[in-house]
Structure 1
Amino acid sequence: MRTAPQPDTFKRSFRLFDATMIVAGSMIGSGIFLVSADITRNVGSAGGLLLIWLVTGLLTVAAALSYGELSGMFPKAGGQYVYLKEAFNPLTGFLYGWSFFAVIQTGSIAAVGVAFSKFSAYLFPFLSEKNILFEVFSLKISAAQITSILLIVFLTFINTKGVRNGKVIQTVFTVTKLLALFGLIIFGLIGSANHEIWHSNWETGFSISQFDGTALIPYSGMAIMGAVAASMVGSLFSSDSWNNVTFIAGEIKNPERNIGLSLFLGTLIVTGIYLFTNIMYLSILPLKEIAFAENDRVGVVASQHIFGNAGTVIVAIFLMISTFGCNNGLILSGARVYYTMAKDGLFFEKVARLNKNAVPEKGLWIQCIWASVLCLSGRYGELLDYVIFVVLIFYILTIFGIFRLRKNKPEIHRPYKAFGYPLIPALYIISASLICVLLLIYKPSFTWPGLGIVLLGIPVYYFILRKKTQSVQETIL
C-alpha cells in the first residue's frame, strides 16, 4: 500500500482577516489587566499612565509599519529570523532563532499557559498554583502547572492537524476577546457616573513621581528616565508578539500585500483598545486602587466595580478565552521559525520536514516539550523579564536591516516600502535604543542575564557549523 507523499511546501491558507487576527490575538493576553498597576506605581499620575501606553503603542505601530517592507521582500516562513540573516549574516539570524527557541517564544507560551491556569482557578479552585499535587526532590508541581502543560499539549496537537483548525481557533477566540474588551470598555465608560474619580485622578496631570500609596515621591535627576523605561517593560511585553504573523508568511495569501497590512491593522486595533482600557480604569478607579490592586489584577477590580460580585467571574472567563487564543497564535507561528532554521542546517534536521497536513509537526512538538519544561521550572517569569531587553535589541537590529538592505541589495523587489522612511524607522531605532540604555543602567539584574542568553548562542552556532563540516567531510570520504 502506497502512502501519500509528504508535502514540501506550505499551503497559502491565511487571508488578510486571518493574518490580522494572528497579530491581534498574539498580542492580547493577560497583560492589559495586570501591568497598569506597576506602571502607576512608577509614574504616579493619570497622564503618565496613558503616556506610557501611548508611547508603547506608537513604537509598536512604527515597528510594524517598518516590518511591512521586509515582509514584502521575503514573503516566506521564518519572518524575523530570515530578515536578520539576509540583512546581516547567518550568525545574527541564528542568535535570534536561538533566543526565540530558548525563551522568547517558549517562555511566552509557558507564561501565557500558567496565566490561563491562574484565571481558571477563579472558577475551579482546585486548579490553583497553591494546590501542590506532588514534589520531585525540591521541585513542587502545582495543579496550575499541569493544567498549563495540558493546554500547550492540546493546542500543539490541534495545530499538527493542519492550519485550518489553528486558524479557526485563532479567529474565533480573537474576535470573541476583542468584542469582550470593547464591551468592558463601553460598560465601564457608561457606568462611570462618578466624575469626581476622573477629575481627582487628573489632579496628578502628567507628572512623573513614585507612588508609595500615600504620597508622590519626586524622582531626582536622570532617575525619572529610568522610571519611564522600567514602566515600559510591562507595556512593551503586553504589546509584543505582533511579529508572529511574519513567521507564517509562507502560508499567507498575497503575502506581499497582506502581511504588511495585517501588521498595521492588528497593532493599531490593539493600541486603541489598550489606551481606551486604561481610560476606563481612570474613569472608575482611584489612582491608588489602580496602583495597589490585589496581585496587580486591575482588570478584576475594575470589573467588580462595573458588574458587582459577578465581575470576578466575568473577567476570569474573559481571560481564559484571551490566554487560550493567545497561546494558540504563539504555538501555531513559532514552529515555522524552527522549520526555516532546520532548512538552513541550524536546527534538528527532521524539523525541516512537513507532515501530511503541510505543517512542521516535529517543530511543534519540540516547542511543546521545551515550553512544558519551562512551565515545570517555575522560572518562565524571570526569563521573560530577562529577554524583553533582548527582544528590543532584535527589533532595533531588524529595522536597521532595512537601511542595510536598501544600500546593499537595492535590486530586490520591494512591493511595499516602509512608511515614513527614513524618519519613522530611524525614530524607532533611536527611541528603542534609549530605552535599552536606560534599562542597562537601571535594571541590570534583568538586562545582563538576557544578553548572556543571547551570547550563549555564539558557541552553539560554531559547534553546529563544525558538526556540519565534519558530516560533509565524512560524506566525501
Structure 2
Amino acid sequence: MQLNRQLSLTDAVLLIIGNVIGAGIFTTSGFLAEQLSHPWLFLGIWGLGGLLTLCGALTYAELAGMFPLAGGDYQFLKAAYGPWAGFLLGWLAVWVINPGSIAAMSIALASYLQGFLPILGAISGKLLAAAFILVFSWINYRGIRPGGTTQNLFTFGTIVLLVVVILAGLLSANGDWNRLSAPGPMPKIAWSHLFGGPMIAVIFTFSGWFASAYIGGEIRDARRNLPRSLILGTLCVTVLYLAINLVYLYARPLHELAGAENVGQLALEGLYGSGAARWISVPIMLAIAAGINATVMTGARVAWALGENGGVCRALRRVHAGYRTPAVAIACQALLAILLVTFGTFGQLLSCVVFVMVLTSIASGVALMLLRWRRPGLARSYRTPCYPLVPLLFVGSYLLVLVQIGRGQPWSSLWGVLMTLTGVPFYLWGRRHPRPAECSGHDADGCGAKPVSKSTL
C-alpha cells in the first residue's frame, strides 16, 4: 500500500516555512550583534546565510525532482553512494535527531506556554511536553491531510503575526533609521571568524529548509512541486528574516542588542513599551508548534523509508490500512521523544549530532555532482541553474562551517560520528534479511508497504 499523495504546492511551501521559523530568529540576533560590530555586517550575514541556503535549496531541488520519494537525504545518499549511506543517516535520524528535536521543541513550547499562561504553572513541564508530542503524533497518525492542515494553520498564524510585528515596527515613530549606519569604516573581519560562530548560528536558524523533500511520496505532481516548494519556501523565510532583523536595528542600537537572549522582546519594548513586548511570545509559540508538527511529519517518513532496508527496522515501513500513514514509524517516534523528555537527555544527544547533520548536507550536495556524472540519463524535472557553481558554493560554505564545528567541538563531533557508526552492524545484519519481495522496487509514486490495521496500534 502506498502513502497518499494529498499535499499541494502550498502545503509543501508552508511546511518548509513552519519547519524553519522557530524561536531562533527571536534569540540568535543578540549573539550576532555581539560578534559583528557594524549594522551592515549584522544584516549582511543574514543575507549571506539566505543566499547560501538558497544555493542549498536549488541543489536539493534537482535531487528532489529526481527522487520525489519519502525520506529526502536518505534517498539522495542511497542513490549516490549506496544503501549503506542512506541507512546510516536514517539510523541516526530515527533514533536521535528527529525524536530529540521533537523533545527539545516540546519542552520549549511548554516553557513558553507556562510563562504566557501562569495557570499552567501547576502542571509539570515534562508532562505538558509529553502531551504535545502525543497530540501532534495523533494528528499525523490520522492522515497526511490532517497533519498538513494543522501545519498550514500554525505556519500561517506565525507568518501573519510576524508580518504584523514587522509592519508595526517599521511604522512606529519610536525607532531611528540612523541606527543602520555606524561611525567610521566597516571593520575588517576574518573569514575564519565569519564562518565560525556567526555563520553557524545563521545556518542553524535557517535549518529545516529541505523539509518538503522528506514527504515527496505524499505531494501531488511531486516532480514539479517539490523543486518549486524548496525554492519558494527558502525565499519566503529569507525575506522574513531580513525584515525582522531590520526591525531590530530600527528599534535598538546594535550595542543594546549585543548579547541579548530576548531580542524580539527587547525590540518591541523599545518601540511600544513592555506591555506590547509580552505578546512576542505568541508568534514564538506558534512557530515552535509548527516546528513540532513538521518534524513529526517528516521524521516519520525517514523512518518509513529506513524500514525498506528490512532487518531490524522492517516494522517501520508498515502503512495504516485506513489512514495511509506510516503508523508504526509515528508511534515509535513519539515513544522515543517522550522517553527523551522524561530522562532529559535530548540536549546532550543533539549537541553531538550537529557535526553529522552538517556533514549530511555536504554529502547531499556532492551527491548531485556525482549523479550528474554517473547517471546523466536519469530523468530530471528540474536542473540546478549555474551548475556547478551553485552546488559548489553550497558545499564549500557548509564545509567551512563543518571545519569550525569540528575545531570548536571535537569530542562532541567524534561522539556524533560514533553514534552514526553504531548502525553499521544493524545494516550488515539487514543485508542478510532483505526487504520483502513486494517492496523490491521503489518508484516515484512510493513503494508498496504492508498495511497495518486500526487495531494494530
Q: TM-score, normalised by structure 2?
A: 0.89
Residue 93 of structure 1: aligned partner: 86
Residue 51 of structure 2: aligned partner: 58
Deviation at 1:333? 1.6
For residues 327 and 185 of structure 2, the distance between their equivalents in structure 1, rounded to whole angstroms, comes to: 52
Preserved CA contact (<8 Å) 1:145 1:376: yes
For residues 208 and 379 of structure 1, the distance between their equivalents in structure 2, rounded to whole angstroms, comes to: 41
Identity %: 31
Residue 27 of structure 1: aligned partner: 20
Q: Secondary structure at the match of 2:381?
A: coil
Deviation at 1:271? 0.9
Residue 263 of structure 1: aligned partner: 230
Preserved CA contact (<8 Å) 1:300 1:312: yes
CA distances 1:364-387 after superposition (whole Å, capped 9, x unpaired): 011111112222233323433332
Deviation at 1:38? 1.7
Which structure 1 residue ranges, 4+ long, deviate > 4 Å from structure 2? none
Shift in alpha-carbon separation, 1:107–1:204, aligned structure 2, 3 A: farther
Residue 333 of structure 2: aligned partner: 367
For residues 72 and 118 of structure 2, the distance between their equivalents in structure 1, rounded to whole angstroms, comes to: 40
Residue 324 of structure 1: aligned partner: 289
Q: How many residues align?
A: 435
Shift in alpha-carbon separation, 1:86–1:203, aligned structure 2, 3 A: same
Q: Secondary structure at the match of 1:400?
A: helix
CA distances 1:297-348 after superposition (whole Å, capped 9, x unpaired): 1112222233323334311122121111121111112111111111221553
Residue 441 of structure 1: aligned partner: 407
RMSD over aligned Cα, in angstroms? 2.3
Residue 198 of structure 2: aligned partner: 231
Deviation at 1:20? 0.5
Deviation at 1:267? 0.6
Shift in alpha-carbon separation, 1:408–1:150, aligned structure 2, 3 A: same
Please list, as runs of the form range in 1=range in 2, the aligned pairs for 1:58-457 lying within 5 A after superposition: 58-125=51-118, 127=120, 143-191=124-172, 193-195=174-176, 198-199=179-180, 202-203=182-183, 206-207=186-187, 225-226=192-193, 228-293=195-260, 296-345=261-310, 348-355=313-320, 356-457=322-423
Deviation at 1:400? 0.7
For residues 216 and 114 of structure 2, the distance between their equivalents in structure 1, rounded to whole angstroms, comes to: 37
Deviation at 1:405? 1.0
Shift in alpha-carbon separation, 1:312–1:372, aligned structure 2, 3 A: farther
Deviation at 1:67? 0.8
Preserved CA contact (<8 Å) 1:45 1:205: no
Preserved CA contact (<8 Å) 2:179 2:254: no
For residues 39 and 445 of structure 1, the distance between their equivalents in structure 2, rounded to whole angstroms, comes to: 25
What amino acid sits opposite 1:251 in the alignment?
E
What amino acid sits opposite 1:331 in the alignment?
V
Deviation at 1:401? 0.7
CA distances 1:393-432 after superposition (whole Å, capped 9, x unpaired): 1111111111111121222111111122111011111121
Deviation at 1:47? 2.6
Q: TM-score, normalised by structure 1?
A: 0.85
Deviation at 1:76? 1.5
CA distances 1:134-160 after superposition (whole Å, capped 9, x unpaired): xxxxxxxxx222211110110001111
For residues 205 and 452 of structure 1, the distance between their equivalents in structure 2, rounded to whole angstroms, comes to: 46
Preserved CA contact (<8 Å) 1:338 1:347: no
Preserved CA contact (<8 Å) 2:311 2:426: no
Preserved CA contact (<8 Å) 2:251 2:268: no
Deviation at 1:126? 5.7
Deviation at 1:26? 0.7
Preserved CA contact (<8 Å) 1:197 1:282: no
Deviation at 1:441? 2.1
Deviation at 1:191? 1.5
Q: Secondary structure at the match of 2:379?
A: coil
For residues 206 and 165 of structure 1, the distance between their equivalents in structure 2, rounded to whole angstroms, comes to: 50
CA distances 1:101-155 after superposition (whole Å, capped 9, x unpaired): 2332222212211221121122223656xx7x7xxxxxxxxx2222111101100
Residue 459 (1) aligns with residue 449 (2):
no
Preserved CA contact (<8 Å) 2:43 2:245: yes
Residue 216 of structure 1: aligned partner: none
CA distances 1:233-288 after superposition (whole Å, capped 9, x unpaired): 22222211121211111110111110000000001100111111111111111223
In structure 1, the gaps of 5 or more residues are 1-7, 134-142, 210-221, 473-477
Q: Secondary structure at the match of 2:203?
A: helix
User: Which segment is superposed worse, 376-385 or 228-237?
Assistant: 376-385
* Aligned with 1:15 (options 8, 11, 15): 8
For residues 70 and 347 of structure 1, the distance between their equivalents in structure 2, rounded to whole angstroms, comes to: 28
Preserved CA contact (<8 Å) 2:90 2:306: yes
Shift in alpha-carbon separation, 1:278–1:344, aligned structure 2, 3 A: same
